[in-house]
Amino acid sequence: MTIKDCIKNYSKQLRDITHIPNKEVEILILHILQKNVIWLHLHYNEEFKHEKELEKLVKKRATNYPMEYITKKASFYGELFEVATNVLIPRPETELLVENAVEILKDIKSPKVLEIGTGSGIISVMLAKLVDNIKIIAVDINDDAIILAKKNAKKHEIEHKIEFIKSDLYENIDEQIFDMTISNPPYIANSYKLPLNVEFEPRSALFGGEVGDEILKRIIDDTYNKKIRYLLCEMGYDQKKPLEEYFKNFDIQKYEFYKDYSNFDRGFSIKFIKGDK
């Protein structure tokens, strides 16, 4: 069968799970051949010699298994990152968290940042690439995440700017001064029924407790107690109201919520008044 016929035939099996079945079969073919799109356009009519492998991958994808876990790649902020099973796949809305952080950090000379829940390392790697003289400590409770994040830091040649530590929130971080804590923590309520494709991602990266905002609140408490000036977090679309209420417990100079690309509330930045109450 030619590449063109393979795309036509195998895309039928993906119609129920994606609105771009042809494109996805193309990506799987390119993944098998380790070639790029330009190559594909020049070789559509050639025979495809790896049909068995393609059939296997299409079958897997038809179960809603994420493409990124098959290709082991995801793009974030216009850059390519490695992904791995048992670590959350980067989401485009998290780019807004990075963007907001860069806006604040560009006015701080040699900023020191703590990232909680680094996952694949996308946030810390992008900050390291975009902010001059930055130093970052990035933590996660998941060993696989730490391994992957280190790989991504190396791939982007900024490993000297980030120290990765296995830690439950601030637990293994010794007393030191940070200008900012940034986090995209797990924030979904434990009882929430996940879409099928998300079921393949680690629960520890997604679920934040009975209500969903428990880890977010622990991060707010600890960041305030550590006297860190800025806190930037991603959050669930329905968490603005309860979090705004929670902010009343702290001395805050200013806070702002931001929306995602679909116009849902998606995160916040807090500037604390440093020092004791």
Ligand X SMILES: C[S@@+](CC[C@H](N)C(=O)[O-])C[C@H]1O[C@@H](n2cnc3c(N)ncnc32)[C@H](O)[C@@H]1O
Site residues, ligand X (CB under 6 A): 88, 90, 94, 116-120, 122-123, 139-142, 145, 168-169, 184-186, 204-205, 215
- Nearest distance, CB of residue 50 and ligand X, angstroms: 31
DSSP secondary structure string, the chain? Answer: -BHHHHHHHHHGGGTTT-S-HHHHHHHHHHHHHT--HHHHHH-TTSBPS-HHHHHHHHHHHTTT--HHHHHTEEEETTEEEE--TTSPPP-TTHHHHHHHHHHHHTTSSS-EEEEES-TTSHHHHHHHHHSTT-EEEEEES-HHHHHHHHHHHHHTT-GGGEEEEE-STTTTPPS---SEEEE----EETT----GGGGGS-GGGTEEESSS-HHHHHHHHHHHHTT-SEEEEE--TT-HHHHHHHHTTS-EEEEEEEE-TTS-EEEEEEEE--S--
CB of 227 to ligand X, least distance (A): 20
Q: Which is nearer to ligand X, 46 or 168 (CB)?
A: 168
If the CB atoms of residues 26 and 234 are measured against ligand X, the closer one turns out to be: 234
Nearer to ligand X, 185 or 212 (CB): 185
Nearer to ligand X, 6 or 215 (CB): 215
Cβ closest to ligand X, residue 40 vs residue 215 = 215
Smallest distance, Å, CB 142 to ligand X?
Answer: 4
- Residue 207 C-beta: closest distance to ligand X, Å: 9
Cβ atoms < 10 Å from Cβ of 84: 15
Backbone angles phi, psi at 256, to 5 degrees: -145, 145
Nearest distance in Å: CB 103, ligand X: 18
User: Would you say 111 or 185 has its CB closer to ligand X?
Assistant: 185
Choose between 3 and 158: whose C-beta lies nearer to ligand X.
158
In the complex, minimum distance from the CB of residue 13 to ligand X, in angstroms, rounded to a whole number: 29
Per the CB < 8 A criterion, the answer to whether 147 and 126 are in contact is no
Q: Closest approach of Cβ 58 to ligand X, in Å? A: 27
Main-chain dihedrals φ then ψ at residue 271, nearest 5 degrees: -110, 110
